[in-house]
Amino acid sequence: MRKKVLWALGLVALALGLASCAPHATQDTLKAQGPYAQQIKSLFVPVFWIAAAVFVLVEGGIVFIALKWRHRKGVNRTPPQTHGNTRLEIAWTIAPALILAVVMVPTIATIWSLAKPPPANALNITVQGHQWWWGFSYTDADMKTGYGTNAPISTADVMVIPAGRTVYLSLASEGGALNGGVAGPNPDFQVIHSFWIPELAGKQDVVPGRTNHILIQADTPGTYYGQCAEFCGLQHGKMKVRVVALSPIDWTAWVANQKLPSDTPTDPLATQGMDTFLNPLSGGRGSCIACHSIGGTTAAGTAGPNLTHFAAYTHSCFAGCDWNTSDTAALQAWLRDPNAVKLGSKMPNYHLSPDEINALVAYLKSLN
Amino acid sequence: MADVIADQHAPAAKAEEHATTTGLPSTKLAMWIFLASECLLFGALITTYLLYRGASKVGPYPNDVFDIPYTSVSSFVLLASSLTMVLAVAAAQKADLIRMRIWLLVTALLGMTFVGGQVYEFTSFSNEGLKLGTNLFGTTFYVLTGFHGLHVTVGIIMLLTLTSFSQAGRLPDDQGFSVEMVGLYWHFVDIVWIVIFAVVYLIPTGPPGGK
Amino acid sequence: MEGPMASVIEEGGRGLIRRPSATTGFWSWFTTVDHKKIGLMYGGSSFIFFLIGGLEALIIRSQLAGPDQHLVTAAQYDQIFTMHGLTMVFLFVMPMSAAFFNYLIPLMIGARDVAFPRLNAFSFWAFILGGLFLYSSWFLGGAPNGGWFGYPPNSTTDPSIGMTFYTLGLLITGIASSVGAVNLAVTIINMRAKGMTLFRMPIFIWMGLVVQFLLAFSLPIITVALVEMLFDRRFGTHFFDPTAGGDPILWQHLFWLFGHPEVYILVLPAFGIFSEILPVFSRKPLFGYQFVAFSGIAIGFIGFGVWAHHMFAAGLGPVANTAFGVSTAIIAVPTGVKIFNWMATMAQGDLHFDSPMLFAVGGIAMFVIGGLSGVTHSIVPADYQQTDTYYIVAHFHYVLFGGAVFGLFAGMYYWWPKVFGKMLSERLGKVHFWLFVVGMNLTFGPMHILGLQGMIRRTYTYPATLGLTFYNQVASVGSFTIAIAMLVFIVNVLKTARHPKGLENEDPWDARTIEWMTSCPPPVHNFDEVPEVHSLDEFWHRKYTTDERTGELIRIPAGAAPEHDPGHEAAAGHAIHLPSPSFWPLVAATGLPLLGYGILYSWYLVGAAAFIILVGFIGWALEPSVAE
């Protein structure tokens, strides 16, 4: 029995020692970076310590009893034949009930606090889960683009928000305005996802046919990482998302930029890429614009991510945020055969030639 | 070990079988637990129907296809079969085997009339454009009533088996007990139909927002 | 033995076909209706499923041992984690519990068999055929890949055949469990020995009764959900199809309305085993017997009212989240009560740490961790962060591995001599135990941290940048430690099987309950003479009495107690009537997987299967339970 205690202590020491070597986790639920995540953390941490105290008491009690009353060879002891003690049993029924009752008070308060309606100045964003990437649509009246049909600003994979301001997310799965404001059922949205940025808020499911809401806020500018938390099929593990929080100045500039249509490239390679993108591919291989839209051009597809500002400095990742936009090789590999890098991707292999790929990459990199 | 089995005498086995802790026959107890379990089965199906009532996005809607007088008659037939079942049990307990078999057959015939009516109803709904996959109404209606129809069919098979076993002299001496057990099941299925009839037919709905 | 019996059968042969008569030999296992043989078959087959589920777990842990690994593809991984969950829940813990219930309930309540022996055989065959049906999907286009929870629309729109196998396979094993539940509940209620009142029943029997009712009332709900999903997948209905107005959340309600009671179905048998083992190895009665029994019943009732705590992030709204948070906190109370009662049972005892006791105490210690992390789920906002992360994986493995699996192994070490007449090696048992404890804590302990650091569940890989590599490596090392522990157990079993020596003492643990009042292994009729029960822990009270003056225990001299009387025994067996072997349960059960394949592939097969089931049951009905 003493061995068990030593084992346990040794393991704890080992774990703590090695834990200090572990690198920083980017989705740490206990590293709250905004008021909503902080409310949850402030609730969980004290409960954790209460649970830890109960853990030490109960496990300590078990070890103590096991050691103290263990049978020793050669000692014949007759234990008292106690059948129970009603008073004692009532006491240890009431004690945990009281502890739980105490804990439930702040719990219920926090449930309702997190469910409060958003403040008047909150930014509204509609979030849509696709297999397997996230789309965002900025639905406020002052967030409409200045071209075409004045659709809301929309992005994919990266959600840009103003730091220090509450964002009210509508997690819609059907009929929400996205990619040029086209509404209506889209089979691509028809599985459940869960939107989760651990450092900013708890998770909330995105359920087809329903609209859920959640409040998030980042206190300081920076990048926050998250991913889909509800199993949604083959590439569930690679359905990541980044939230970029900007300072007020940067935010204003970002919004102004997003309202503009895409740049028309001047570089010849990029121009060639634009041609490839906007026109049907030779040999009946299909066309990019069937699924993608690029503001200010004829590209107005809605099934895939909006690429209008693909190369904006905030748009750091693509295709479920598993690859960095700056990584030319990754972009090329993606265009060569999306399913080779991400099996199950809805984007088919268009059998693009190396020249076409280089031109398309150049075009995409010009879209900032 | 072998001699233990070879050396069995039926009467002693019976004596032991009947000495249950509660005094209730185990079969009856099992039937009650089974029926309680079945309540939850139909409960979940009826709940599904109610939750989706009026949620269909396209027609036909209940008001478009239901023929309430027709279904009322077939419901009455099923209810009448509960009465004949009671008569069968009563006859069995009086050891009036001829009458028992007659009433069992009548019960089965009434049940078959009901199921036949359901088949006709399904066919005519289908002809009017309501298929299993047409809308949520078709989905929930066919699965709920079909599940019930399946239960009635199983009941009919039990009734017919019971009658033919009785005719062939292959039932244990206490025939009343077997009949009573099948009767419990039969009454349960009838009661469930009353609930389904009320929920599905008596509070039907048209298209969402309409009527 | 063949001669006289065969003639008996032919004379009385009233069935459709000649009745099987052999009670020994290979083929007798296919027709047996003996609860002990059926229990052994449940145990053996579910143990094999446990090993398969364990291999799946090892593949999972190997894949996750490092970032961006590609030992298996995403598609394979989804099938493996789904089958790991389904196997461990439906094909290991449930049937292994059924093995214990089948073998022990009649022995512990003093019955000759269960209430409906042939129905019992049917349950077993339906379970094993359902399990094989589910596993046949690997060879017929792919195993289920939507998780054991099978949330639609993902599971209803997935084009592979796996999730259709999931609905049909679970329906078949569900039929097995429902039938078994009714049978065992009736057995406990109606087949008790003289004097065995409800409050003289061992706690294991109480927990068994609660589990059977939980099964009887929760399985119909999942049955409906599965039928609805099957129709959505196979027949074009729209139950969970949002484009037609259906609501995927309905599935979640139905699934968890079953799924949460299911957790107690998995863990209460272990609670029963703990409650039997602790008093024996503490040489003390269970502290607060009635309290433990009532808390089990309370858990059963409240267990139906907490399901939506699996759905706190689904958007049910603050009212529902508050209500289910509170109910989840409430159910922690009767669970906690049991822990304290167990501790008080041990306190002041004379604790003998033989293998069964080690597994019981270790299991309780591990379950406490799972219980405490469970309480943190009632802290609803904390659950917004933790749900669908490895924190949950850690939690339920502490509950199910720490609670259920430790409990089942405790029971195996404890009742092994009863069932096989041989003791498992104590030395290997202790090695097994310590490897188990270390392995499970290494595997599942770090998962708490992984979850809090943001590792989602059901992910086939993770990038190095998430900073999750180290604890995943620890968990993978731990999983192989558990595998080694299992090898030690298998070696122990094989060594014991080859060991020719039987028991020196048919009461090796100085036990308290009446299953130890018959030989090891028990005769086919269980008891030569069913003991009349006068108190809880009947056997103990026949062995010991308390000195009224000093309060000391005094052992009643062996001859004084009417335990074994060899002369009596020879005479006793003769008047006992046991149900005879039968083909029909197997025939009827065979129809179920055929029905499943029929729904998948061909309406002709459906007809054939329905015919086989009908013939099976009619043949069954025509055959008297006891051959004449």
What is the per-residue pLDDT across A21-73, written as a single tens digit (0 to 9) for each? 455 789 999 999 999 999 999 999 999 999 999 999 999 999 999 999 999 98
Tokens of C364: 């309780």
Using CB atoms, list chains with 3+ pairs below 8 Å to chain A: C
Residue-wise pLDDT tens digits, A3-16: 555 666 666 666 65
**Is the ipTM of this structure higher than 0.90?**
yes
Nearest-angstrom CA–CA distance, C469 and C463? 8
pLDDT band for position B209 (50/70/90)? low
pLDDT confidence of residue C324: 95
Residue-wise pLDDT tens digits, C98-157: 999 999 999 999 999 999 999 999 999 999 999 999 999 999 999 999 999 999 999 998
For A82, which of C78, C158, C284 is closest by C-beta distance?
A: C284
Do B5 and C578 make contact, defined as CB atoms within 8 angstroms? yes
pLDDT over 80 (residue C456):
yes
pLDDT band for position C575 (50/70/90)? low
pLDDT band for position A209 (50/70/90)? confident
Three-state secondary structure call for residue C137: helix
The alpha carbon of residue A35 is apart from the nearest alpha carbon of chain C, in Å, by 13
Interface of B with C in 54-73 (CB under 8 A): 55-57
pLDDT confidence of residue A249: 96
Nearest-angstrom CA–CA distance, A8 and C366? 13
DSSP designation for A73: T
Do A192 and C248 make contact, defined as CB atoms within 8 angstroms? yes
Nearest-angstrom CA–CA distance, C536 and C203? 10
pLDDT confidence of residue C385: 96
For B21, which of C190, C217, C219 is closest by C-beta distance?
A: C190
Do C224 and B9 make contact, defined as CB atoms within 8 angstroms? no
As a whole-number percent, the residues of chain C with pLDDT over 90 amount to: 83
pLDDT band for position A303 (50/70/90)? confident
Do C283 and A233 make contact, defined as CB atoms within 8 angstroms? no
For B2, which of C5, C225, C247 is closest by C-beta distance?
A: C5
The H or E element that residue C362 is part of is helix C355-378
Nearest-angstrom CA–CA distance, A94 and A72? 36
pLDDT over 90 (residue C486):
yes
Nearest to A54 by CA among A103, A96, A23, A90: A96
Do B5 and C524 make contact, defined as CB atoms within 8 angstroms? yes
Q: Judge residue A113's burial from the number of C-beta atoms within 10 Å of its C-beta, 0-12 exposed, 13-18 middle, 19 or more buried.
A: middle
Q: Do the beta carbons of residue C117 and residue C627 sit within 8 Å?
A: no
Cβ pairs bridging A and C (under 8 Å): 303
pLDDT over 50 (residue C400):
yes
Interface of A with C in 81-120 (CB under 8 A): 81-86, 88-89, 92-93, 96-97, 100-101, 103-104, 107-108, 110-112, 114-115
Strand partners, A172: A211
The alpha carbon of residue B41 is apart from the nearest alpha carbon of chain C, in Å, by 5
Count of beta carbons in the 10 Å neighbourhood of residue A52: 11
pLDDT confidence of residue B155: 97
Three-state secondary structure call for residue C619: helix
Locate the chain B residue with the closest alpha carbon to C14.
Answer: B170
pLDDT confidence of residue C556: 83
Question: Which residues in chain C have Cβ-Cβ distances shorter than 8 Å to A18?
Answer: 470, 474
Q: Report the pLDDT averaged over residues C296-303.
A: 94
Do C353 and A70 make contact, defined as CB atoms within 8 angstroms? yes
Interface of B with C in 161-200 (CB under 8 A): 161, 165, 170, 172
Count of beta carbons in the 10 Å neighbourhood of residue A12: 11
Q: Report the pLDDT averaged over residues B187-196.
A: 96
Do A237 and C459 make contact, defined as CB atoms within 8 angstroms? yes
Which of C7, C182, C255, C525 would you mutate first to test chain B, the one with the most B CBs within 10 A?
C182
For C337, which of A81, A92, A185 is closest by C-beta distance?
A: A92
Using CB atoms, list chains with 3+ pairs below 8 Å to chain C: A, B
Q: Do the beta carbons of residue C19 and residue C102 sit within 8 Å?
A: no
Do C626 and B10 make contact, defined as CB atoms within 8 angstroms? yes
Helices (H), C421-455: 426-452
Angle, nearest 10°, between helix axes C203-234 and C162-190?
150
pLDDT confidence of residue A204: 96
Do C283 and A79 make contact, defined as CB atoms within 8 angstroms? yes
Locate the chain C residue with the closest alpha carbon to B15.
Answer: C577
- CA neighbours within 13 Å on the CB side: how many for B73? 7
Which of A230, A322, A339 would you mutate first to test chain C, the one with the most C CBs within 10 A?
A230
Locate the chain C residue with the closest alpha carbon to A64.
Answer: C347
Locate the chain B residue with the closest alpha carbon to C578.
Answer: B5
Nearest-angstrom CA–CA distance, C329 and C332? 5
Cβ neighbors of C382 (< 8 A, separation 6 or more) are: A40, A43, A44, A47, C376
Q: Report the pLDDT averaged over residues A211-215.
A: 93
pLDDT over 90 (residue A117):
yes
Question: Which residues in chain C have Cβ-Cβ distances shorter than 8 Å to A171?
Answer: 315
The H or E element that residue A164 is part of is none
Tokens of C534: 């006068």
Nearest to C205 by CA among C304, C271, C129: C271
* A321 touching C (Cβ < 8 Å): no
Do A11 and C441 make contact, defined as CB atoms within 8 angstroms? yes
The H or E element that residue B110 is part of is helix B97-127
What is this structure's pTM? 0.93
pLDDT confidence of residue A190: 80
Does residue B100 or residue B14 have the better pLDDT?
B100
Residue-wise pLDDT tens digits, C312-335: 999 999 999 999 999 999 999 999
Question: Which residues in chain C have Cβ-Cβ distances shorter than 8 Å to A88?
Answer: 344
For C254, which of B22, B44, B147 is closest by C-beta distance?
A: B44
pLDDT band for position C7 (50/70/90)? very low
Does residue C192 or residue B205 have the better pLDDT?
C192
Q: What's chain C's average pLDDT?
A: 91
Q: Do the beta carbons of residue A191 and residue A233 sit within 8 Å?
A: yes
Nearest-angstrom CA–CA distance, A47 and C455? 21
pLDDT confidence of residue C36: 96
Do B41 and C112 make contact, defined as CB atoms within 8 angstroms? no
For A59, which of C353, C368, C467 is closest by C-beta distance?
A: C368
Which of C82, C338, C340, C377 would you mutate first to test chain A, the one with the most A CBs within 10 A?
C340
Nearest-angstrom CA–CA distance, C550 and C562? 26
* Rg (alpha carbons) of chain B, rounded to whole number: 21
Question: Which residues in chain C have Cβ-Cβ distances shorter than 8 Å to A230?
Answer: 151, 313, 388
Q: Report the pLDDT averaged over residues C206-232.
A: 97
Q: Report the pLDDT averaged over residues C246-272.
A: 96
Interface of A with C in 182-211 (CB under 8 A): 185, 187, 190-192, 194, 196, 198, 201-205, 207-210
Q: Which residue in the block uniquely carries the two structure tokens 């029995």?
A: A1
The alpha carbon of residue C252 is apart from the nearest alpha carbon of chain B, in Å, by 13
Which of A195, A203, A212, A343 would you mutate first to test chain C, the one with the most C CBs within 10 A?
A203
Q: Judge residue A337's burial from the number of C-beta atoms within 10 Å of its C-beta, 0-12 exposed, 13-18 middle, 19 or more buried.
A: middle
Residue-wise pLDDT tens digits, B58-82: 889 998 899 999 999 999 999 999 9
* A12 touching C (Cβ < 8 Å): no
pLDDT confidence of residue B4: 33
Do A198 and C454 make contact, defined as CB atoms within 8 angstroms? yes
Nearest-angstrom CA–CA distance, C131 and C136? 9
pLDDT confidence of residue A75: 84
pLDDT over 60 (residue C11):
no
Q: Report the pLDDT averaged over residues C86-91.
A: 97
Do C220 and B37 make contact, defined as CB atoms within 8 angstroms? yes
pLDDT over 70 (residue B8):
no
Nearest-angstrom CA–CA distance, C563 and C571? 15
Residue-wise pLDDT tens digits, A350-365: 999 999 999 999 999 9
Do C626 and B12 make contact, defined as CB atoms within 8 angstroms? no
Using CB atoms, list chains with 3+ pairs below 8 Å to chain B: C
Do C290 and A84 make contact, defined as CB atoms within 8 angstroms? yes
For A26, which of C248, C337, C465 is closest by C-beta distance?
A: C465
Does residue C626 or residue A166 have the better pLDDT?
A166
pLDDT confidence of residue C21: 73
pLDDT over 90 (residue C164):
yes
- Cα C507 to chain centroid distance, Å, stands at 26
- Cα torsion C432, C435, C438, C439 to 10°: value is -100
